[in-house]
Amino acid sequence: MERSRRGFLKAFGGGGALLGGAYVATRGVRGDRRPADLEEWPPSESSGRLSYWSWQHYWRSQAEAFQFDADLEAIDSETVPARDQYRRLVDGETPDVVTLPTRQFERAVENDLLASFDPEVVPFWPPRNELQTHDESLYVREDGCYGVPQTPMSYALAYHREELEEPSSWSLLWDESLTGRIGMPADPILAGQVAALYTGQDPNDPDDVDAIREALETQRSLVGTYWTDWNDCWRAFRDASIKAAVLPNPRMCLCSQDGTPIVMAEPNEGVLYGQNTLAIPKDASNPYTALEFIDWGLEFKTGTDAMWTPEEWPLRPHRMLETDAREAYLEAAETVGIDGAE
């Protein structure tokens, strides 16, 4: 796996060695260092271990290749749903790297759960992605950067290509003929935002909470599953026990998913859109190795020219909400029994 060109060119002068085309730093870094302490790239010292969380099962397992590319002693990866990553960070758990959708990333920064790094030192800033619905300021504060976008992602309308015609509206998720075959997120904010789109409202600034609540109540008897881990819902498409759902749609080429009869539709009302973001939790044990992993992870192939591009769909920003909107969604979701935590 090729490292970034900038990191590769600097590797000879950084106190490490090149092994199989990948930079390997001197191991044994102090445990009290922070990402912001790094003054030059590549790190002259880093640890031989790494832990990371990803909500995307297949990318998580493929990214374990970093252990061999960087000659690590051990790598500990775990599949953790996006909202559970945020919860566990709040509870004090500190892996070295997390992968968070934009909304959870913003909340983690707001609540001082992530560590900053110097954008002038690392080779992966500024980001290469076209951000579409926001700019680089989302990731930057006065003391540095707190994350870097890895790949575009949306929350799209997924349908079973062998059972249904292509839909043009979120109203598919309120179709009584699909009773018991609909999948909705257990995330109360995301569920509420989908209901806002269905009722013709701005998902980031709803003006009729009663309509959202009524839509969720009407839908309750139609839903077969409220998923926490998207992959559980994804697998249910294989036997058509689920035929339509809200699912995350990162711009990733992951062949192990190709056999599932799912197509992502383009609802007229738009899709919720953001970025899958790589970040380092505050007090991570291996911060310099985490920065190397992020550099490597951004080079790791995640898409092809044949895949969807953000320009194809009407995009609605999936961002951290103002307090009033957030509380309105939580209240509406609670009335139908969707877990109030997010």
Tokens at 230, concatenated: 């998207």
Q: Tell me the per-residue pLDDT of 243-296, one tens digit each, with 9 for 90 and over.
A: 999 998 865 555 445 578 998 888 999 999 888 899 999 999 999 999 999 999
Residue 306 lies in a domain: no
- Amino acid 152: pLDDT: 85
The residue among 182, 181, 195, 183 whose CA lies nearest residue 230 is: 183
Q: Count the neighbouring beta carbons within 10 Å of the beta carbon of residue 18.
A: 12
> What CATH number is given to the structural domain containing 317?
3.40.190.10
Residue 57 lies in a domain: yes
The beta-carbon contacts of 312-315 under 8 Å, at least 24 apart in sequence, are 312/266, 313/154, 313/156, 313/266, 313/270, 313/271, 313/273, 314/266, 314/268, 314/269, 314/270, 314/271, 315/132, 315/133, 315/154, 315/270, 315/271, 315/273
- Amino acid 257: pLDDT: 53
Based on the domain organization, do 25 and 140 belong to the same domain?
Answer: yes
Q: Tell me the per-residue pLDDT of 201-213, one tens digit each, with 9 for 90 and over.
A: 999 999 999 999 9
- What's the number of domains the chain is made of? 2
Residue 100 lies in a domain: yes
The predicted model gives 298-322 an average pLDDT of 70
Q: Identify which has the larger pLDDT, 124 or 14.
A: 124
d(CA 199, CA 211): 7
Residue 261 lies in a domain: yes
- Amino acid 15: pLDDT: 36
Residue 74 lies in a domain: yes
Based on the domain organization, do 193 and 288 belong to the same domain?
Answer: no
Average pLDDT score over the chain: 85
Pick from 17-21, 95-99, 103-107, 189-193: least confident: 17-21
Based on the domain organization, do 227 and 293 belong to the same domain?
Answer: no
> What CATH number is given to the structural domain containing 73?
3.40.190
Instruction: Give me the numbers of helices (H) and strands (E) for the chain, helices first please.
Output: 10, 16
Q: Identify which has the larger pLDDT, 85 or 129.
A: 85
- Amino acid 61: pLDDT: 82
- Amino acid 298: pLDDT: 87
Could you tell me if 108 and 87 are in contact, meaning their C-beta atoms sit under 8 angstroms apart?
A: no
Residue 125 lies in a domain: yes
Could you tell me if 318 and 102 are in contact, meaning their C-beta atoms sit under 8 angstroms apart?
A: yes
Between strands 148-160 and 98-100, the pairing is: unpaired
Based on the domain organization, do 133 and 186 belong to the same domain?
Answer: no
Based on the domain organization, do 99 and 240 belong to the same domain?
Answer: no
- Amino acid 10: pLDDT: 35
Q: Rounded to an integer, what is the distance from CA 16 to the centroid of its chain?
A: 32
Is residue 192 predicted with pLDDT exceeding 70?
yes
Based on the domain organization, do 56 and 175 belong to the same domain?
Answer: no
Q: Identify which has the larger pLDDT, 134 or 327.
A: 327
- Amino acid 151: pLDDT: 84
Based on the domain organization, do 185 and 263 belong to the same domain?
Answer: yes
- Amino acid 252: pLDDT: 55
Based on the domain organization, do 228 and 127 belong to the same domain?
Answer: no
Based on the domain organization, do 186 and 287 belong to the same domain?
Answer: no
- Amino acid 71: pLDDT: 93
Could you tell me if 317 and 274 are in contact, meaning their C-beta atoms sit under 8 angstroms apart?
A: yes
Based on the domain organization, do 86 and 186 belong to the same domain?
Answer: no
Q: Tell me the per-residue pLDDT of 61-114, one tens digit each, with 9 for 90 and over.
A: 878 899 999 999 999 999 999 889 999 999 999 999 999 999 999 999 999 999
Based on the domain organization, do 27 and 170 belong to the same domain?
Answer: no
Domain span at 66? 5-152+283-299
Is residue 230 helix, strand or coil? Answer: helix
Residue 128 lies in a domain: yes
Residue 341 lies in a domain: no
- Amino acid 103: pLDDT: 93
d(CA 198, CA 192): 10
Is residue 312 helix, strand or coil? Answer: helix
One-letter amino acid of 100: L
Question: How many percent of the chain have pLDDT more than 90?
Answer: 64
Based on the domain organization, do 223 and 295 belong to the same domain?
Answer: no
- Amino acid 5: pLDDT: 32
- Amino acid 311: pLDDT: 66
What are residue 176's DSSP bridge partners? none
